[in-house]
Amino acid sequence: MMDAWVVARPGPVATRPLERAVLPDPVPGPGELLVRVEACAVCRTDLHLAEGDLPPKRPRTVPGHEVVGRVAGLGPDTPGPPVGSRVGVAWLRSTCGRCRYCLRGAENLCPASTYTGWDADGGYAQLLTAPAAYVYPLPEDTPAETLAPLLCAGIIGYRALARADLPPGGRLGIYGFGASAHLTAQIAIAEGATVHVMTRSPAARELALRLGAASAAGSADPPPEPLDAAILFAPVGDLVPVALAALDRGGTLAVAGIHLTDIPVLNYQRHLFQERTLRSVTANTRDDGREFLRLAALHHPRVTTTPYPFDAAGQALADLAADRVEGAAVLLMDR
């Protein structure tokens, strides 16, 4: 038996939707790994699941999809990686591999795709299973606390950056500055971009400037220059027209979150004319994950974390909801 946290009653975080549970150890199926968890970062998607913004697909789901752990066993017909290897388990759990989206390299749009911590139990537990074809090898010489946020915050931020079509040396606006944004900003800066951050948190603005942002202002404030591209990380639909209005001609706004509050009415002339583009971002492909991890190994972004003991998963979600987390919250498994 293992310790875990489950979403018992989806609702506002103040109602304590997470419940501590003792569950049977999971058994890996064909092609799957059994992974012993070292650390699991806390994602805003976990908060959406706990609060019911993201409808649960199954009762009493174990959330968590930014998992660093070690292979503890192999299911039938699973050739590797070997037991003891360090691996990362991310949001995308499986795809069909046969549909027109998978065949054209857009497996993130696969209608049969499944997700860690939503369709299957995730990393708020001592153990989990994952398809071997969807995990990432991870370095041995980096703390698990530092690696965990790379597996969703980093990967989805990278896909959002790609979807924003930022030109080389361009001006990027980032709206919201949590776990994903603080990693994306560093990769963009390392690749030659000028980054302007708009966020409501004074502490996040200070962090953005320390990490190399050219400016940091309030979430609805105009940036000091027109933007070639922007990414909206905050799940706030009211910021969509704000960000679109800040774009230069031909600019693109990518909305990174899986959940967004309603978008106000847009004015065509002000928000979309002159070939401004509004794009959503849906999950990621494994190629996105591999490319981001390559860039992270190249540029060594500073991963800012707020660690929590495993017992404090509910507090971590509450702090995330209240913008009390600097960088990424990470649950550390008791040893």
Q: What is the DSSP string of 244-284?
A: HHHEEEEEEEEE--S--PPPPPPPIIIIITTT-EEEE----
User: In terms of residues, how long is the chain?
Assistant: 335
- Residues 217, 191: Cα–Cα separation, whole Å: 22
- Residues 30, 78: Cα–Cα separation, whole Å: 6
> Does position 10 have pLDDT exceeding 90, yes or no?
yes
Q: What is the DSSP string of 214-255?
A: SEEE-TTSPPSS-EEEEEE-S--TTHHHHHHHHEEEEEEEEE
Q: What is the pLDDT at residue 29?
A: 97
* pLDDT band at residue 27 under the 50/70/90 scheme: very high
Mean residue pLDDT across the chain: 96
Q: What is the pLDDT at residue 120?
A: 97
Q: What is the pLDDT at residue 259?
A: 86
- Residues 334, 27: Cα–Cα separation, whole Å: 21
Nearest to 223 by CA among 204, 199, 198, 200: 198
Tens digit of each residue's pLDDT (9 = 90 or more) over 274-317:
999 999 999 999 999 999 999 999 999 999 999 999 999 999 99
- Residues 37, 281: Cα–Cα separation, whole Å: 28
Tokens for 246, please give them.
Answer: 């800040």
Tens digit of each residue's pLDDT (9 = 90 or more) over 168-196:
999 999 999 999 999 999 999 999 999 99
pTM for this prediction: 0.92
Average pLDDT of 204-212?
96
- Residues 148, 113: Cα–Cα separation, whole Å: 22
Tens digit of each residue's pLDDT (9 = 90 or more) over 222-274:
999 999 999 999 999 999 999 999 999 999 999 998 889 999 999 999 999 99
DSSP letter (8 states) at residue 213: -
Q: What is the pLDDT at residue 335?
A: 54
Nearest to 308 by CA among 325, 283, 323, 291: 325
Tens digit of each residue's pLDDT (9 = 90 or more) over 36-91:
999 999 999 999 999 999 888 999 999 999 999 999 999 999 998 999 999 999 99
Tokens for 208, please give them.
Answer: 């953005």
Percent of the chain with pLDDT over 70: 100
Tens digit of each residue's pLDDT (9 = 90 or more) over 90-115:
999 999 999 999 999 999 999 999 99
Q: What is the pLDDT at residue 130?
A: 98
Q: What is the pLDDT at residue 56?
A: 87
Residue 76, amino acid: P
- Residues 277, 327: Cα–Cα separation, whole Å: 29
Neighbours of 335 (CB within 10 A): 5
- Could you list the beta-strand ranges (E) of the chain: 2-7, 18-23, 32-42, 67-74, 86-89, 92-94, 114-115, 127-131, 135-137, 171-175, 194-198, 215-217, 227-232, 247-255, 277-280, 305-309, 328-332
Q: What is the pLDDT at residue 235?
A: 92
CA 321, distance to chain mean position in Å, is: 15
3-state helix, strand, coil in the chain (%, to 5): 30, 30, 40
